[in-house]
Amino acid sequence: MNKFIKLSLLTAATVVGSNSMASAGDVEVLHWWTSGGEAAALKVLKEDLKTKGIGWKDMPVAGGGGENAKTVLSARVTAGNPPTAVQMLGFDILDWAEQGELANLNAVAAKEGWDKVVPEALQKFAKHDGKWISAPVNVHSTNWVWANKKVLDNLGIAQPKTWDEFVAAMKKVKASGLVALAHGGQPWQEATMFDGVAMSAGGSDFYKSAFIDLDTKALTSAAMKETFERMAVLRSYVDDNFSGRDWNLASAMVINGKAAFQIMGDWAKGEFLNAGKVPGKDFLCFRVPGSAGTVLFNSDQFAMFNVGASAAKDQAELASSIMSPAFQSAFNVVKGSVPARTDVPNTDFDDCGKKGMAQLAAANKSGMLFGSMAHGHANRASVKNAMYDVITAHFNGEYDAATAVDELADAVSIAK
């Protein structure tokens, strides 16, 4: 932890101390999209801006959960030198808006009719006090499982539909000598698994009560204990070298046939596509068994910071590019996510993408679309981080399930 803190501060100091201001006609963009699939998706946006005569000053900060990027951003804003735009998630956007740091995008939003095409659940994080402050680029969902089809076929394993079938499948994979569940031991990755497992164990009413409403009864319920017990089962099917592994390296284990399954958001699909793999032929995508019919979402958005009137036109152009239907399709086809607007056709999307778009539309209509706890769309960072601490401590054997339930309720009580 001390090494992490020192590295983060050093990175922040280096960035703040450099001459990092974007020149006129450029946008300086802070983001954490550094894996192969993510970089390929981001290239779509860079090329679109190039056609408008706007340069892209790249400011990548590695770290799949974005925690390192937050440290760098805070240092930049404190130094009075914020980037033009920053990749953000959920309540983090609103936190910066409440500090008065974000620009007003109402003019371009009104001109292009964003209110009519962006789902209300996303607008909750893209608007503050009636003002558009960010441009949503996609909708990701966390309760997905990714599977190597060849591995399953060779072992005679059908796609599991229930939790018990999923456990039986992992048991068979482990007995074959392969890794059953590819995982990277980082708190945000464990929380991402927890998202789908909680929905599977307790259902939608439980998920909403526990993680969005923070209801004490739900936090201390039998369903929460079952969730932690299921996480312990998953831990028994992870390889010994999981600690600290980046998520995309875990995806690579499935892609290369070294592991059968990964529970990860649909950004993982970008890694499969970047490796030339085809849905249905080389890999399977399905909801965490027991969570079908619900969608746990997070939405990457680019928040525009107050960097002066001279940058306003470029920020509006960047936001317009992000929100254009053509870009939303082209970007999300590569990224693995689905569009943040409801009027984008699914023509160019693969089978997993079409499935994701249909499930998002259905969940939005049925009231089964919920913000992801793991990715800052259920509650603010203080609560999310408190949950992270307990979830990862339990996953690493510090608590049994019953103790973890008590610790989680106590942590949330303090954090909120």
337-374: pLDDT as tens digits = 999 998 999 999 999 999 999 999 999 889 999 999 99
- Residue 16 pLDDT > 50, yes or no? no
- Residue 17 pLDDT > 50, yes or no? no
Write out pLDDT tens, residues 137-156: 999 999 999 999 999 999 99
Q: Which of the residue ranges 47-51, 200-204, 275-279 would you say has the lowest mean pLDDT?
A: 47-51
- Residue 3 pLDDT > 90, yes or no? no
pLDDT at residue 64 in the model? 60
- For 286, residues 6+ apart whose C-beta sits below 8 A from its C-beta are 144, 145, 147, 159, 292
Position with higher pLDDT, 36 vs 106: 106
Q: For domain 2-139+299-364, give its CATH number from 3.30.70.100, 3.30.1490.190, 3.40.50.280, 3.40.190.10.
A: 3.40.190.10
Question: What is the 8-class DSSP label of residue 243?
Answer: B
Model confidence at 171, in pLDDT bands (50, 70, 90)?
A: very high
Q: What is the pLDDT averaged over residues 194-212? A: 98
pLDDT at residue 343 in the model? 93
Q: What is the pLDDT averaged over residues 296-305? A: 95
Write out pLDDT tens, residues 124-135: 999 999 999 999
Model confidence at 23, in pLDDT bands (50, 70, 90)?
A: very low
CATH number of 141-296+369-415: 3.40.190.10
pLDDT at residue 10 in the model? 39
Ordered by start, the domain boundaries in the chain are: 2-139+299-364, 141-296+369-415
Burial-class residue 220 by CB neighbours within 10 Å (0-12, 13-18, 19+): middle
Cβ proximity of 260 and 151 under 8 Å? yes
- Residue 9 pLDDT > 80, yes or no? no
Q: Which of the residue ranges 40-44, 218-222, 281-285, 287-291 would you say has the lowest mean pLDDT?
A: 40-44
Instruction: Give which of 184, 183, 188 is closest to 67, Cα–Cα.
Output: 188
State how far the Cα of 15 lies from the Cα of 60, in Å rounded to an integer: 11
Q: Is there a shared CATH topology between the 2-139+299-364 domain and the 141-296+369-415 domain?
A: yes
Position with higher pLDDT, 40 vs 110: 110
- Residue 204 pLDDT > 90, yes or no? yes
Average pLDDT, the chain: 92
- Residue 327 pLDDT > 50, yes or no? yes
Cβ proximity of 109 and 341 under 8 Å? no
- Per-residue buried b or exposed e for 52-62, using 16+ beta carbons within 10 Å of the residue's own CB: eebbbeebbbe
pLDDT at residue 12 in the model? 38
